Amino acid sequence: MSIMTFFSGSFCGNTPIIQGVIKKSNYSLLTDNDLTAEASRLSGIPEKKIVRAYMNKPSVFNKFTHERERAVAYMRLAVAQSIFRSNCLIDGFSGMLIPASVTHVLRTCLIADKKSRIQQAMGEKGLSEKEAEALINKDDEAASLWCDSLFKLQDPWDPSLYDIVVPTDKMDHAEAVSLILENLKSEVIQPTKVSEKAALDFILAAQVEVALAKEGHAAGVSARDGMVTLTINTNVLLLGRLEDELKAIAGGVDGVTSVETRIGKGFYQADIYRKFDFEVPSKVLLVDDEREFVQTLSERLQMRDMGSAIAYDGESALNLVEEDEPDVMILDLKMPGIDGIEVLKTVKASRPEIEVIILTGHGSDADRELCMSLGAFAYLQKPVDIEKLSRTLEAANEKIRTRADNS
C-alpha cells in the first residue's frame, strides 16, 4: 500500500480533514508523539529531548554533543521501520524524514492564509489577535527550522516538498478529503519493486546512522543495495583517521556490504568536527563577566574535548539554562546585575540536576559555606590550576552519569 504523510500549519483545520481521510481509507494514524515514543524506546533518550531536536533550534552545545543528530537518527529509524506497516498515515514533522527515493508516498501539505489562521487561533484558544499571531509565528519558525535542516529550504510550505498543497481556507473539509483520496489512487505513488527497495535502503541507512550516533559521531548516511555512503559535513583535522573509524562502525551493521566516504559542502566551514566523548562533560556553561578570562578558559577546556558555552552575566546564564540545558555550570560570584549567589539559588530551585562549580576570586569562607549549603558541587578559588578544574568537571560528570544510570 502507498503511504500518506501530512505536514500542516497550525490552526489550519487539519484535524477533521485527516480524520476524514482515515475514516474513508481505513489507514492507521501515526503522529509525532507516537514516533517520538518509539524513538525514545529505541534510544533511551527522554521523549522531551527528542522533541527538542525537531521543534527547536540546535543547542549551543550541539557541536560538541551531536544531541540533535542523535535524536533525529533514532526518529529516522522509528519512521523507517513504521512505513512497512500497511495503510500507514504519518501526521507531523516526522513524515519529512522519508527520503524522496521512497516514491510510494503521498506527501500532503494542509495550509491556510495567515488571517484565517489567526481567526481560528483566537476562537480556539481565546487569544487576542496579537497573541494568536505570535503563537502562529512561533509554530511556523519551528517548521521552517526543521525544513531548513533537512532540505535547506526555509519555507515549510514550499510546493516542491509536496505532491499536493491543500488550501484549507478555500476548500471545505469534504472537498479536501475527496481531493486527497483521489490523489492516493494515482499510479505514480503506487508501490513498485524499486520504491519498496528504497524503503529497505532507508532502514539500513537509519541503522547505520544510529550505530554512528552510539559512538558519538554525526555524519550524513545514504544506502543502496547494501552499499553505504557516509558524508562528512564538518572540517576535520585528521580526515583519514575519521574515515577509517566511520567505515569500521558502518561496516559492522548487518546488511552493509561496502562503505565509502565523501566530503560534503559543509566540510570547508570553520567549525572543527568533534566526536562526542561520553566520558567527559560536553555541556559546560561558563558564567563570568571577565571576558578575556572566561574566553581563555573555554578554549582550554575545548582543547581537552570538553564542550563549553559562555555567558557574561547572570541573566544570560539563566536564559541559557532554560533554553540549552547544560549539565555543569562554572559560576563566578561577583557579577553585575544578578550575582552568582542568586544564579545558584535559581538554578538549584528550577534545575537541581545541574551541577554547579563556583570559581571565584573574591569569595570568603562565609560564601563557601553558603554556596555548598545551596547545593554547589564544588567551590574553587581563582587562579585555578586547569588540571584541578578538569578533575572537578570529570567528577561532576561522573555524578551525573551515575545518577542517570540509577534513574
> Is residue 359 a part of any domain in this protein?
yes
Q: Answer yes or no: is 398 within a domain.
A: yes
Q: Are residues 296 and 250 part of one domain?
A: no
Residues 149 and 87 in one domain: yes
Asked whether residue 208 is assigned to any structural domain, the reply reads no
Look up the CATH number of the domain holding residue 367. Answer: 3.40.50.2300
The boundaries of the domain holding residue 8 are: 3-189
Q: Are residues 221 and 324 in the same domain?
A: no
**Residue 200 is assigned to a structural domain of this protein:** no
Query: pLDDT tens, 208-263?
Result: 999 999 999 999 999 999 999 999 987 777 788 999 999 999 999 999 999 999 98
- Count of domains forming the chain: 3
- Can you give the pLDDT of all 407 residues of the chain as single tens digits? 899 999 999 999 999 999 999 999 989 999 999 999 999 999 999 999 899 888 888 888 888 888 999 999 999 999 999 998 768 999 999 999 999 999 999 999 999 999 999 999 999 999 999 999 999 999 999 999 999 999 999 999 999 999 999 999 999 999 999 999 999 999 999 999 999 999 999 999 999 999 999 999 999 999 999 999 999 987 777 788 999 999 999 999 999 999 999 988 766 655 666 677 677 788 999 999 999 999 999 999 988 888 899 999 999 999 999 988 899 999 999 998 999 999 999 999 999 999 999 999 888 899 999 999 999 999 999 999 999 999 999 999 999 988 877 76
Query: What per-residue confidence (pLDDT) applies to 56?
Result: 84
Pair (141, 232) in one structural domain: no
Residues 21 and 138 in one domain: yes
- Please report the pLDDT score of residue 268 as a whole number: 60
pTM: 0.86
**Are 57 and 184 in a shared domain?**
yes
The answer to the question of residue 274 being in a domain is no
pLDDT given for residue 233 in this prediction: 82
How much is the pLDDT for 386?
93
Report yes or no on 46 lying in a domain. Answer: yes
Would you state the pLDDT for residue 406?
78
Residues 12 and 62 grouped into a single domain: yes
Both 15 and 120 in one domain: the answer is yes
**Residue 58 has what pLDDT?**
85
Q: Is residue 384 part of a domain?
A: yes
Q: 53 and 79: one domain?
A: yes
Same domain, 222 and 141: no
- Shared domain for 325 and 257, answered yes or no, is no
HEC string of the chain?
CCEEEEEECCCCCHHHHHHHHHHHHCCEEEEHHHHHHHHHHHHCCCHHHHHHHHHCCCCCCHHHHCHHHHHHHHHHHHHHHHCCCCCEEEECHHHHHCCCCCCCEEEEEEECCHHHHHHHHHHHHCCCHHHHHHHHHHHHHHHHHHHHHHHCCCCCCCHHHCCEEEECCCCCHHHHHHHHHHHHCCHHHCCCHHHHHHHHHHHHHHHHHHHHHHCCCCCEEEEECCEEEEEECCECCCHHHHHHHHHHHHHCCCCCCEEEEEECHHHHCCCECCCCCCCCCCCEEEECCCHHHHHHHHHHHHHCCCCEEEECCHHHHHHHHHHHCCCEEEECCCCCCCCHHHHHHHHHHHCCCCEEEEEECCCCHHHHHHHHHCCCCEEEECCCCHHHHHHHHHHHHHHHHHHHHHC
CATH code for position 53 = 3.40.50.300
Instruction: Give the per-residue pLDDT at 60.
Output: 87
Render pLDDT for 63-106 as a digit per residue (tens, 0 to 9).
888 899 999 999 999 999 999 876 899 999 999 999 999 999 99
82 occurs within a structural domain: yes
Residues 145 and 227 placed together within one structural domain of the fold: no
